[in-house]
Protein backbone atom coordinates (compact mmCIF):
# COMPACT_ATOMS: atom_id res chain seq x y z
CA UNK A 1 0.00 0.00 0.00
CA UNK A 2 1.49 3.37 -1.00
CA UNK A 3 0.85 6.56 0.89
CA UNK A 4 1.83 9.73 -0.89
CA UNK A 5 3.92 12.02 1.29
CA UNK A 6 5.78 9.45 3.36
CA UNK A 7 9.50 10.33 3.33
CA UNK A 8 10.68 6.96 4.63
CA UNK A 9 12.11 8.19 7.95
CA UNK A 10 10.88 5.05 9.81
CA UNK A 11 9.92 7.01 12.95
CA UNK A 12 6.46 5.39 12.88
CA UNK A 13 8.01 1.90 12.88
CA UNK A 14 10.30 2.84 15.75
CA UNK A 15 7.65 4.30 18.06
CA UNK A 16 5.26 1.47 17.19
CA UNK A 17 7.79 -1.12 18.31
CA UNK A 18 8.35 0.80 21.54
CA UNK A 19 4.60 0.84 22.21
CA UNK A 20 4.31 -2.93 21.79
CA UNK A 21 7.67 -4.19 23.05
CA UNK A 22 9.03 -1.48 25.34
CA UNK A 23 12.12 -1.24 23.15
CA UNK A 24 13.04 0.25 19.79
CA UNK A 25 12.92 -2.64 17.33
CA UNK A 26 11.36 -1.40 14.07
CA UNK A 27 11.60 -4.82 12.42
CA UNK A 28 8.99 -6.05 14.92
CA UNK A 29 6.53 -3.15 14.74
CA UNK A 30 3.00 -3.27 13.29
CA UNK A 31 4.15 -1.01 10.44
CA UNK A 32 6.66 -1.65 7.71
CA UNK A 33 8.04 1.03 5.39
CA UNK A 34 9.86 -0.08 2.25
CA UNK A 35 11.59 1.96 -0.41
CA UNK A 36 9.62 1.68 -3.62
CA UNK A 37 11.07 1.44 -7.10
CA UNK A 38 10.06 5.01 -7.94
CA UNK A 39 11.43 6.65 -4.79
CA UNK A 40 8.11 6.31 -2.98
CA UNK A 41 7.58 4.53 0.33
CA UNK A 42 4.91 1.84 0.48
CA UNK A 43 3.56 1.45 4.00
CA UNK A 44 2.18 -1.83 5.33
CA UNK A 45 0.07 -2.18 8.48
CA UNK A 46 0.08 -5.70 9.98
CA UNK A 47 -2.86 -7.43 11.60
CA UNK A 48 -0.81 -10.07 13.43
CA UNK A 49 -2.20 -12.97 11.39
CA UNK A 50 1.16 -13.76 9.80
CA UNK A 51 2.68 -14.52 13.21
CA UNK A 52 5.76 -12.45 12.43
CA UNK A 53 4.60 -9.04 13.53
CA UNK A 54 2.37 -7.83 16.32
CA UNK A 55 -1.10 -6.65 15.36
CA UNK A 56 -1.75 -2.91 15.22
CA UNK A 57 -3.96 -1.97 18.17
CA UNK A 58 -4.07 1.73 17.23
CA UNK A 59 -2.08 2.39 20.45
CA UNK A 60 -4.95 1.32 22.65
CA UNK A 61 -5.03 3.36 25.84
CA UNK A 62 -3.35 6.40 24.31
CA UNK A 63 -5.10 9.54 23.13
CA UNK A 64 -3.44 9.37 19.70
CA UNK A 65 -1.57 6.56 17.92
CA UNK A 66 2.17 7.10 18.26
CA UNK A 67 2.75 6.78 14.51
CA UNK A 68 0.55 9.83 14.01
CA UNK A 69 1.88 11.74 17.01
CA UNK A 70 5.53 11.44 15.96
CA UNK A 71 5.19 11.60 12.18
CA UNK A 72 7.95 13.98 11.09
CA UNK A 73 6.25 15.08 7.88
CA UNK A 74 3.58 17.61 8.80
CA UNK A 75 1.62 17.29 5.54
CA UNK A 76 1.67 13.50 5.78
CA UNK A 77 0.63 13.54 9.44
CA UNK A 78 -2.99 14.43 8.55
CA UNK A 79 -3.06 11.73 5.88
CA UNK A 80 -1.69 9.15 8.34
CA UNK A 81 -4.29 10.21 10.90
CA UNK A 82 -7.04 9.62 8.30
CA UNK A 83 -5.60 6.16 7.53
CA UNK A 84 -5.58 5.23 11.21
CA UNK A 85 -9.15 6.51 11.66
CA UNK A 86 -10.30 4.46 8.66
CA UNK A 87 -8.58 1.39 10.09
CA UNK A 88 -10.27 1.97 13.43
CA UNK A 89 -13.68 2.28 11.75
CA UNK A 90 -13.08 -0.96 9.81
CA UNK A 91 -12.54 -2.81 13.11
CA UNK A 92 -15.78 -1.65 14.72
DSSP state of 27: G
Q: What is the tally of structural domains in the chain?
A: 1
pLDDT digits (tens, 9 = 90+) for 12-23: 999 999 999 999
Do residues 23 and 17 make contact, with C-beta atoms less than 8 angstroms apart? yes
Instruction: Tell whether 53 is covered by a domain.
Output: yes
Query: What's the predicted TM-score (pTM) here?
Result: 0.77
Instruction: Tell whether 3 is covered by a domain.
Output: no
Instruction: Tell whether 48 is covered by a domain.
Output: yes
Q: How far is CA 50 from CA 32, 45, 46, 70, in A?
A: 13, 12, 8, 26
Instruction: Tell whether 5 is covered by a domain.
Output: no
pLDDT digits (tens, 9 = 90+) for 28-69: 899 899 888 888 888 888 877 777 788 888 888 998 889 888
Instruction: Tell whether 75 is covered by a domain.
Output: yes
Instruction: Tell whether 6 is covered by a domain.
Output: no
Q: Does 91 have pLDDT greater than 60? A: no
The sign of the CA dihedral 71, 10, 20, 81 is: positive
Which residue range is the domain that position 49 belongs to?
Answer: 11-91
Amino acid sequence: MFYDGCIGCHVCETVCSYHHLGRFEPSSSSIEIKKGSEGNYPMIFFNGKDGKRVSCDLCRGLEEPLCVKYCSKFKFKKHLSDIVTAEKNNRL
